[in-house]
Amino acid sequence: IPDVGGWMLLGAGVLILGATAFEYQWVQRYIFRKKRNLAKVCALLLLVSCNTNQPEEIKLNYDKCISCKMTISDSRFASAILTEKGKTLKFDDVSCLVRYTKEQKISYKGIFVADYLEPHNKLLDIKNAICIESPKIKSPMRGDIAVFSSNSKNQDYIKAFEAKKLTWIDILNKF
């Protein structure tokens, strides 16, 4: 005769078996009986599995820069490339991203960068970002570029860092 823990384990097993049987009957009865329902389920699965146009989240102190292999530890300078196949390539600095794109000649859906002031939010598309450069910024790989989501936010930092505004073309030419 089992002890209390044994009875609990046995009870949990019976509950799981009952729930599985109930779910199987429900699926058989309501989903696969009508071809129309089957088509809806297939369409739903297809929509759920589609790629997004956003890169996956960068996990600080866990993810490594694909270019220099350093752990990404400062979210203010993180960046990513979303490839045509939907893979996210993560970088610890914009300079690493630029060097990697020049060396590897990859095709991509988009380039994304972290907002210097709100680094824990979603990454910004580089097309909508405002970039500044200054030796006082001190990014991980000394790219010394900070990115902002709006023009009004970066004005104070341009003065404080004695920085100059850059376009994405300027950044590509710099590295």
Collect all residues with Cβ–Cβ distance below 8 Å to 17 and sequence separation of at least 6: none
pTM value is 0.69
Write the DSSP string, 9-45. Answer: HHHHHHHHHHHHHHHHHHIIIIISSSHHHHHHHHHHH
Mean pLDDT, to the nearest integer, of 3-14? Answer: 84
Collect all residues with Cβ–Cβ distance below 8 Å to 121 and sequence separation of at least 6: 115
pLDDT tens profile 64-106: 999 999 999 999 999 999 998 889 999 999 999 999 999 998 8
Percentages helix, strand, coil for the chain, rounded to the nearest 5?
45, 15, 40
Q: Could you tell me the two tokens for 42? A: 């297939």
Write the DSSP string, 142-155. Answer: S--EEEESSHHHHH
pLDDT at residue 121 is higher than 70: yes
